[in-house]
Amino acid sequence: MNMDIVLASQSPRRKELLTQMGLTFTVHPADIQEVIPPGLTPQEAVMALSRQKAAAVAADHPDDLVIAADTIVVFDGRLLGKPHSREEAREMLTALSGKAHHVCTGFTLQRAGQTESGCEESEVWFRELTSREIDAYIATGEPMDKAGAYGIQGYGALLVRGIHGDYFNVMGLPVCRLGMALKNFGVDCLA
């Protein structure tokens, strides 16, 4: 099957993970207003957002396989996206300190009218953080473009006491689940 793969994201982490999977792809970020329809669970919300992104990019690439994803952090019934300010990052990290939260990543594969979506959820425990540690972490700049104000693959690893589930999901792409779904589109990463 001759097709190109298009990643509907400019996330360096997602690019790195697809490359790690052995895929060759181009990048075409979805230019959409991210709106979560009311009444959805966090899992349904990230899948809905990933479907919106995939559909937007597939309109420009109808014969290509589009991969889209969206990640959110869920803590105490609240959805934590990317912080809009250092103060918001501080509030998120203070709330997560010493507690568990969930990371949900929804993904969608779309090609020529065929669409498949899925969601992976991982539980992450933070250790107790001091105000000084939170301020030092924010000073790295790392929290500002990450859901929940941390990146597990960077300095944020120093905050994480434990994880239950897919580590790569916390980075922003559930590699195992995605690899299985790709087979339904004729792409076998291990073949």
- Residue 183 has phi, psi (to 5 degrees) of -60, -35
Q: How does DSSP assign 73-122, residue by residue?
A: EEETTEEE---SSHHHHHHHHHHHTTSEEEEEEEEEEEETTEEEEEEEEE
- Residue 121 has phi, psi (to 5 degrees) of -130, 130
> Is there a contact between 81 and 185 (Cβ–Cβ < 8 Å)?
no
60 is catalytic: no
| Residue of 4, 60, 70, 166 with catalytic role | 70
Residues 107 and 133: their CA atoms lie apart, in Å, by 33
Residues 165 and 169: their CA atoms lie apart, in Å, by 8
Neighbours of 139 (CB within 10 A): 11
Q: Which residue is it, tokens 């790690």?
A: 20
Which value, in Å, is the radius of gyration of the alpha carbons in the chain?
17
- Which positions are annotated as active-site residues? 70
